Amino acid sequence: MDRTRIIFIAIIGIAMLAVCGVLAYNADSNTTPSSRLDSPEPVWGPNYNRQDGKPTYICAADAFGSYFTLQQMQMSGKDIENGFHLGIIPFDLNEKYTIAEEQRAALLNSGQWNCLLTTLDSVALTSPGVITAIVDESAGADQLWGRNIATINDLKGKRIAFSRGSVGEYFVYYTLSIAQLSPRSDVTLVPQDSVADAVAAFNRGQADAVSAWDPDIYEAAQSGGTPLLSSAQLRIVIDVIVTSRQSLSENPVLVQNFHNAWFATLKAQVEDFNTAAAQIAAWGNNDWSAVYRETAVADLRGWLENIAQADLGDNAFVMRDTRPIINRLQIARRVWAASDLPVPNDDITSLVEPRFVLRASEQASLQPFGNPVNDTFSISPQLDLTGVATGEPDAATTLAVLPCRTFSFLPESTELTLESRRILDSCVVPTLSQSVGLLLRIKGSSAWPANNPPYTEAEILEVAQGRAQSVVDYLVSQGIDRARFIVEAVLPPESHRNTTDPNVQASDRYVELTLVTSGR
């Protein structure tokens, strides 16, 4: 073979290697983020011993009051008592732990983390793992503030700020869905990089409303903001423990041990709150947790007052019948999809695994003797309606006039049609079933047709009352507490009475539905 041919073959070989290298690089660039992400080193407890042979369990979480059960678990040694070392990834502790929402989902999905503490709506959006326990319901921590905005309907045409990718964004979308306002055309969205940035944008006048959580939300008062709605009324924000699918399949015993340790730690918190607060403060990083050594009890209590923690009993109730939590996931997925965000098409029932909670509930030693700071967790057998001014129309403040506020009835009929029931199922039931702090004002009206002898006022009111009561009865059959309705009956205007005009009669046959709240 001559030299020229050898050089030619060498050049071709080098070119082919270069092409292969480019293809390999592109293939690597097109892999999922989870395959290229590295998790930062977890924060370990004071008694962590890498050489003792115990397995590790890595959980990631924000700085949030009910999530500090993880810190308490480390400091009390409940993890070691249950045969493992807990490692914590504390989001935004410093630059090393600044991890975006999509990266969090990818790290859990890849199995680099065993668990992630996050919100149920986030699970519905990304399916990063499986819900294995309930942490809490937000009971006032998440809020929507505005300037000169009296009702949800008044958000139309307004600018709304929130932290992109956060539960604050979901809170906005869900609130808009109540009044059937489109986030694409009826409002202007003003997404920001953080909750602090969202409140700052509101205070600078770049937004008319802001969705955020405490303590940042209270800064909105600086520019004249006032509360419109909070998770105290709209119980749509649920925090959950999401476990990686790899952990579930490869080491279910370790997953069970973690859940046992979680509920043992919650039991200790309920039974000796002062010690629990001191342990969380002793974990350090106090500016991050806002739980300080000198004021630990007051600080932790302040965190938990607006968070309805789910104890072992609440968890067992939810996991014995997962339909309500599956329904919440379905609602969340519909809200995200209606806001033009892509949602998974997986089997949503596969996102809940009850066995670890149910096995923990069989252990008498994990049952707490006492109640959390806020004991109003509402996906439970009893709903706490304390402070809800039912039956007092003058004490209730209008939150939203529902877009499905009118229903047509057949003449002299008080029975709901099948179509009317379907409308109630989509327009009313989801909101009321998640919002124990909201009431529904139901105003029934009847036509006053000409008759011989003429109908009396009492007869017309009886029909109107019957129509309103039909709505109540149907909603009660769907699991809504009867105490949450304010029922009224009204007469048609004087000019519509004793009429033969079918159009006038039709206009007076309706039931108007208004969401109201007391003590807002």
Q: What is the pLDDT of residues 485-519, one digit of tens each?
A: 899 999 999 999 999 999 998 888 888 888 887 54
Instruction: Say how far residue 370 (Cα) sits from the centre of its chain.
Output: 26
Distances in whole angstroms, Cα of residue 71 to Cα of each of 358, 390, 428: 24, 41, 40
Intrachain domains 35-131+250-328+340-366 and 142-230 with the same fold: yes
Token duo for residue 187: 């409002």
Q: What value does the mean pLDDT of the chain take? A: 86
Eight-state DSSP code of residue 352: B
CATH 3.30.1330.60, domain 393-518, yes or no? yes
Using the predicted structure, report yes or no on whether residue 101 has a pLDDT greater than 60.
yes
- What residue type is assigned to position 26 of the chain? N
Q: How far is CA 29 from CA 99, 342, 430, 474, in A?
A: 20, 22, 42, 55
Q: What is the DSSP string of 406-471?
A: -----TT--PPPHHHHHHHHHHTHHHHHT-TT-EEEEEEE--EE--SSPPPHHHHHHHHHHHHHHH
d(CA 153, CA 149): 9
In this structure, what token pair is assigned to residue 70? 């993880």
Which CATH number among 3.40.190, 3.40.720, 3.40.50, 3.20.20 corresponds to the domain 35-131+250-328+340-366? Answer: 3.40.190
121-180 pLDDT, tens digit each: 999 999 999 999 999 999 889 999 999 999 999 999 999 999 988 899 999 999 998 888
Lowest mean pLDDT among 250-264, 339-353, 430-444: 430-444
Distance CA 242, CA 122 (A): 10
Report whether 135 contacts 64 (CB < 8 A): no
> Strand 209-213 vs strand 142-146: parallel, antiparallel, or unpaired?
antiparallel
Q: What is the spatial distance between Cα 279 and Cα 296, in angstroms, rounded to a whole number?
A: 9
Rounded to 5°, angle at Cα 206 from 203 and 212:
55
* Among the four given CATH numbers 3.60.21.10, 3.40.190.10, 3.30.450.20, 3.40.50.1000, the one describing domain 142-230: 3.40.190.10
Residue 432, C-beta contacts closer than 8 angstroms, at least 6 positions apart = 438, 440, 475, 480, 484
Distance CA 226, CA 190 (A): 18
Is 0.85 surpassed by the pTM of this model?
no
Q: Which of 106, 26, 23 is nearest to 60 (CA)?
A: 106
pLDDT for residue 297: 98
The domain limits of the chain are 3-30, 35-131+250-328+340-366, 142-230, 393-518
The CA-atom distances, in angstroms, between 28 and each of 24, 104, 296 are: 6, 20, 48
Cα–Cα distance for residue pair 248/256, rounded to 1 Å:
9
State the virtual CA torsion across 180, 182, 186, 189 in degrees, nearest 10. Answer: 130
